[in-house]
Structure 1
Amino acid sequence: MYVTMKEIVDRAYKEGYGVPAVLGENETCIIAAIGAAEETKSPLIFINFVDTMPDPFFYCRMVKTYADQASVPVALCLDHSPDFADAVAGIQAGFSAVMIDRSRLPFDENAKEVKELVRIAHSVGVTVEAELGHVGDGENYETDGKTAFTDPDEAQRFVEETGIDCLAVAVGTAHGAYRGTPKIQFDRLRELHERCSVPLVLHGGSGSGDENIYKACQNGIAKVNFARDIVQAGYDALMEAKLEGDSMYDFFDVITNGIKEKVKHFFEITGCKGKAWSQIPEFGVQKLGLEGGKEHEDK
């Protein structure tokens, strides 16, 4: 079932676990991840980027079709929208969440732009994620891993001023492949968790280490982004299979299974395995003006 990202991260935040937000760049990724979620009864978030979607409207319809056929909650977040227009286009296309990244701007400019997007997105029930501090690149980790951390005082003020649903924080992770060993500032993360009233998000989950991810999800991280590890899992499975001749017909199955097993692993280390829920609609609820449907936990 297709849901807002807020529904997923709010539950995770309240119950003290994390949820993987995995790259859903194409149909293979989508089928693999939803298959993993259904087999483990886990909630799932997809992320994708503006520059990987020739037609965001078609893309959202595809994801929503698969999600609506699934028995687990699935959300879709437009990650790192580069400008205001792209974020609004993502809302129009059907993303259930948008991440507006103005982390390179001064605090006041960042807060001003994010607050305006929150006003627009919330009017149509779309979740908003923003970033404070700046998560850099793994290839430049020697520098980026030591700078632009999220300040807890600023984070508390930012959340209060903007009305965002979740906050991406910079505590020592980086995007892409690391050159160096990731060092997470858990003391900073714990303080951010204490000071902020919304779920926290960890970007740069790929290559950050299972123990770091698990510990982060025990200290306020409700969403962990994984992109490169998804692609790597498909590639590794293909290399291991060493397909040739007619076995090449197994090409897509091999990649799909490789990604599926990796996503299952993410459910384990973030703590959300078995945390899915289902929504059972009641007949005539809207017509009778009654409140929402019945909800039950899948055991």
Structure 2
Amino acid sequence: MKELLLQAEKENRAVGAFSVGNMEMVIGALKAAEEMNTPVIIQIAEVRLRHSPLACMAPMMVQAAREAKVPVAVHLDHGLSMEVLCKAIGFGFSSVMFDGSSLPFEENISETKKAVHVASKYKVTTEAELGVVGGSEDGSANHKIKYTDPEQAKRFVLETGVDALAVAIGNAHGHYATEPKLNFEVLETIRNCVDVPLVLHGGSGISAQDFRKCIDHGVRKINIATASFTALTKSAENYLKTEEPHNYFALNEAMIDGVLQNVKNCIYIFNNKGEI
């Protein structure tokens, strides 16, 4: 992942990090990447593993990435335990995120350092989070947004050695109840304080214009989960509303296409080229 983010930095664009929960999502995301000839990240969050077990998802994700026609990183999103981080690394994930954002600042530093130490042994890229991104990855909680403190971010990156930093600037997981108001002044200040790529979580629902503005302010990885899950579900619903006899294979294709179209649209925006 580190290589993809550094290349994106040179080209002033962001790499899409697309959450997946089944085979159709993996296929749809990678077909979109190949059609757009653009590197991507496919990822799964620890909280999703009760629905999509790592032992099932990881081998599929890793092998699909290896066989893709474009560079693909495989990432553990919102890792909450060293046990799961180590399992993901063992399966061949190329990057992991340790999310200690709910911990006190000093504890977040110490726990993140442990994760970086383990990952570095296997040359695995690390991501961490500082501040509080609203909502929660699985919708089970509604965390109140707490902006990332730029001075804390500077110290956090220096002491932990993380390769990428997820920031909170008004972004939130899940569906936004109202149009999100991102604080670009905070984002710009953070950018000037740290020398690692910045990550935007809670991308589903942010406008194309704000995505482009985030990219111009140093965001190099943008996470998309809810929009892809919603696109897959809607595409399946539309197929099942048709009167023709239904079968799994046509349903499979419908789900793939829903994800493919959403991911293609995101990649177009994140590449930071062309009109929107």
Question: Same fold by TM-score, threshold 0.5 exceeded?
Answer: yes
Q: Matches of 2:29 and 2:104 in 1, distance apart?
A: 37
**Shift, 1:20, TM fit:** 1.0
Aligned partner letter, 1:261: Q
TM-score (norm: length of structure 2): 0.90
Find the structure with the greater CA-based Rg.
1
Cα deviation code 1:20-58 (max 9, x no counterpart): 111121110000111011111011101102343364244
Match of 1:87 in 2: 85
Q: Matches of 2:103 and 2:111 in 1, distance apart?
A: 10
Tell me if the contact between 2:100 and 2:108 (Cα under 8 Å) persists in the aligned partners. yes
Match of 1:284 in 2: none
Match of 1:243 in 2: 242
Indicate the SS of the match to 1:80. Answer: strand
Unaligned runs of 5+ in 1: 274-299
Aligned partner letter, 1:255: M
Tell me if the contact between 1:141 and 1:178 (Cα under 8 Å) persists in the aligned partners. no
Tell me if the contact between 2:174 and 2:226 (Cα under 8 Å) persists in the aligned partners. yes
Q: Matches of 1:89 and 1:21 in 2, distance apart?
A: 20
Q: How does 1:23-172 map to 2 (within 5 A)?
A: 23-53=19-49, 55-137=53-135, 144=144, 147-172=145-170
Q: Matches of 1:96 and 1:244 in 2, distance apart?
A: 44
Indicate the SS of the match to 1:125. Answer: coil
Equivalent in 187, 195, 200 of residue 197 of structure 1: 195
Q: Matches of 1:210 and 1:141 in 2, distance apart?
A: 26
Unaligned runs of 5+ in 2: none
Q: Matches of 1:206 and 1:76 in 2, distance apart?
A: 20
Match of 1:256 in 2: 256
Match of 1:213 in 2: 211
Tell me if the contact between 2:135 and 2:142 (Cα under 8 Å) persists in the aligned partners. no
**Shift, 1:92, TM fit:** 1.8
User: Sequence identity of aligned pairs in percent?
Assistant: 37
Equivalent in 233, 239, 254 of residue 231 of structure 2: 233
TM-score (norm: length of structure 1): 0.84
**Shift, 1:142, TM fit:** 9.8
Tell me if the contact between 1:18 and 1:223 (Cα under 8 Å) persists in the aligned partners. yes
Cα deviation code 1:117-138 (max 9, x no counterpart): 1111011011110000010218
**Shift, 1:272, TM fit:** 6.5
Q: How many residues align?
A: 268
Match of 1:9 in 2: 5
Aligned partner letter, 1:19: V
Q: Which moved more, 1:13-22 or 1:260-269?
A: 13-22
Indicate the SS of the match to 2:133. Answer: coil
> What is the root-mean-square deviation in Å for CA atoms of aligned residues?
2.2
Match of 2:266 in 1: 266
Equivalent in 165, 180, 183 of residue 182 of structure 1: 180
Aligned partner letter, 2:105: F
Tell me if the contact between 1:142 and 1:180 (Cα under 8 Å) persists in the aligned partners. no
